[in-house]
Amino acid sequence: MDQCSEQSSALDKVLGKWVEVKRVGFDSVARAMDLSAESKAFFENSTSVLGFARNGDTWTLQIGSAEAPQIPSYTFRFGQPHYSSNMDGTPLKGMVLPEGDRLVARYESIGPKPYVMEVVVPEVHGDSMKCLITIEGETIESTYKRQ
């Protein structure tokens, strides 16, 4: 088994669908992103959902709001650049890397307000997952439950 496949296997614990049950730090990140009042209100009152799938070394992430009519999905391979968008629609260029049993992603905005976003999935324990999103030194800590 090659290193990429071994890392993918170690991260299989994130596979599946997840719903956010707790969020701390949203206001400071919304300010760092310079979200409009309308966008801030929408996301403040919405529930984040995630879905991870893997086919060999290709991963698919479905991420969005449970209240949205459609949830976008993005496909990536570890260590290869890919494009996605942030919660407010800002285009992002990023790369996801495995670090042991953690997923670590770094994104740069390709929009009018440049920023760097780091996303870390540091812990998955059974049906509970923590996710940290840091922008401009401000961090959201979200807790998800497996659906």
| pLDDT of 3 higher than 50 | no
- Look-up: residue for tokens 């929408």? 42
Is the domain defined by 3-63+70-146 classed in CATH 2.40.128.20? yes
pTM passes above 0.85: yes
Q: What are the tens digits of pLDDT across the range 72-86?
A: 999 999 999 999 998
Report in angstroms the alpha-carbon separations of 12 from 19, 86, 88, 101.
17, 24, 29, 9
Mean pLDDT of the 23-37 span: 92
| Confidence band for 95, pLDDT divided at 50, 70 and 90 | very high
- All structural domains of the chain with their residue ranges: 3-63+70-146
Cα–Cα dist 62/51, whole Å: 5
* pLDDT at site 86: 86
Name the residue with higher pLDDT: 58 or 2: 58
Return all residues near 52 (Cβ < 8 A) that are at least 6 apart: 14, 15, 16, 18, 59, 60, 61, 62
